[in-house]
Amino acid sequence: MSEVLIAFSTLAAIMVLSFIGEIIAKKIVVPSAILLVFLGIFCGPLLHLFEYESLVAAVPFIAPLTIAFVCFEAGEEMNVYRMLRSSGRAAVLSVLGFVFSVIPVGVLLRFVLGLDWGYAFMLASAWSGMNLIIVNAVCDLLKLKKESRTTLTLLTMIDDPLVMISTLAILNYILLGGVSLHETASALMSNISISICIGALIGLVWLNLLYIARKTKFIYTFTLAAILFFYSLVEMLGGTGGISIFVFGLIIGNYRSVITTLKLRLEKKQLSGIVRRIDGFHSEITFMLRSFFFTFLGLIYTFAGVTELLIGLAISILLHITRYLAFKIGTVGSPLKSDLPEIGLIVGQGVAAAAMSTLPLAYGFPNAAFYTNIALNVLLFTNILSIALPLLANKIVKHGASQ
């Protein structure tokens, strides 16, 4: 009984810390991810208010839970037709930024730290996206053009699914270790196909169930159970739960387009209120879980020496350089070019990167704690530099223009 009480009190304490961190972050206009991680480090590694072993033991439970909720939210918020119509530039910038980041960082991890190719590219993939919170913070501080802000917002909506799906796919490649290249490719294609098909099937069935139960009060509880159940089911069937839940959310979020395209006998107006309710409740729970997760990351951080900090800083600088180069190429002939270098220096990592970075720890990979700490350093440095560098670049540009 005492262990249960300790677990409950620990959970409550982390939630309170997360809530306090969010309030302080809004007051001092600092990205909450940075403050929450530092708050976790202060209460964990510095004050030792929490038992490290117990927290690490909880990672295999907390990481998949966070991934499931974040994947559903990413899918639900991704408006496919809007992306196809108006975000060609954002898609180009997202893919360029991702490729330009993954390859050099993966090579660095392979030859400097001696990681296997799969492990190196899994971590590089996890760190190759951009966070909407940082984008909004920089745009507000620098008063960037509306077009730049819109493009960057759309870019982050593409980045999160790209980071999650690619990282989970590489994870499956690692788990298939010792299998021939042909068998690995077949297994990966089978895994991804199963995951997408099950996610699409769940989404279509769920649209009909939501319509049937449209007058029920507690419809989100029903959907919450579906997210947890189908994530587990897909994993047990040999698929990737995160990919399935992303597709599930994608269909729910794009219900209007799905109904029109497939000519489903469902009234869009009847479903609109239900989907808004689900979106509202899920956003609140994901927000709470996101805050909890960043605080939790700080609590499990262990400082083993300056090496981890330097590696994290080096990777962060490399990510900024590669992202800037991608934007330099991707904005050729675009009005966005006038907001360079500022918009090319935003690489702040969010909860998608953080959740994917805990996969080595969740799956018990060798030296997982060391690489999780490097990942946390990358998260902190990219967020800090993503505010400092655009502000510095803006001042330099203004100073040069005034002379």
Question: Within 10 A of 180 (CB to CB), how many other CB atoms are there?
Answer: 9
The alpha carbon torsion through 121, 123, 129, 131 (nearest 10 deg) reads 180
Asked if residue 10 has pLDDT above 70, the reply is yes
Domain 2-402: give its CATH architecture. Answer: Up-down Bundle (1.20)
**184 confidence band (pLDDT: 50, 70, 90):** low
* Share above pLDDT 90 across residues of the chain, in percent, rounded to a whole number: 17
Position 83 scores a pLDDT of: 62
Token pair listed for 248: 């599930």
**Sequence ranges of the domains in the chain:** 2-402
pLDDT confidence of residue 171: 87
Label residue 181 by pLDDT band (50, 70, 90).
Answer: low
Structure tokens at 153: 């917002």
Q: Read off the pLDDT of residues 252-284 as tens digits, 9 standing for 90 and up.
A: 989 998 888 888 888 888 888 888 888 888 888
Higher pLDDT, 179 or 224: 224
> Which segments within 22-143 are labelled E, that is strand?
none
pLDDT recorded at residue 25: 72
- Check: CB of residue 385 under 8 Å from CB of residue 347: yes
Under 8 Å between Cβ of 126 and 163? yes
Per-residue pLDDT, 353: 86
Q: Residue 7: what residue type? A: A
Per-residue pLDDT tens digits for 38-96:
888 888 888 888 888 888 888 888 888 888 888 888 888 877 766 666 567 888 888 89
Distance from CA of residue 198 to its chain's centroid?
Answer: 22
Q: What is the pLDDT of residues 106-146, one digit of tens each?
A: 999 999 988 899 899 999 999 988 877 778 777 777 777 77
Report the pLDDT value the prediction gives residue 205, as an integer from 0 to 100.
92
pLDDT in tens, 317-361: 999 999 999 999 988 888 888 888 888 888 888 778 888 888 888
* pLDDT greater than 90 at residue 33: no
User: Where is mean pLDDT largest: 188-202, 307-321, 341-355?
Assistant: 307-321
Per cent of the chain over pLDDT 70 is 92
Question: pTM of the prediction?
Answer: 0.81
Q: With bands split at pLDDT 50, 70 and 90, how would you rate the model's confidence at 103? A: very high
The pLDDT value recorded for residue 1 is 45
Number of helices (H), then strands (E), belonging to the chain: the values are: 18, 0
Q: What span, in angstroms and rounded, lies between the C-alpha atoms of 222 and 263? A: 25
On whether the CB atoms of residues 153 and 132 are closer than 8 A, the answer is yes
Q: Tell me how far apart the terminal alpha carbons of the chain are, to the nearest angstrom.
A: 71
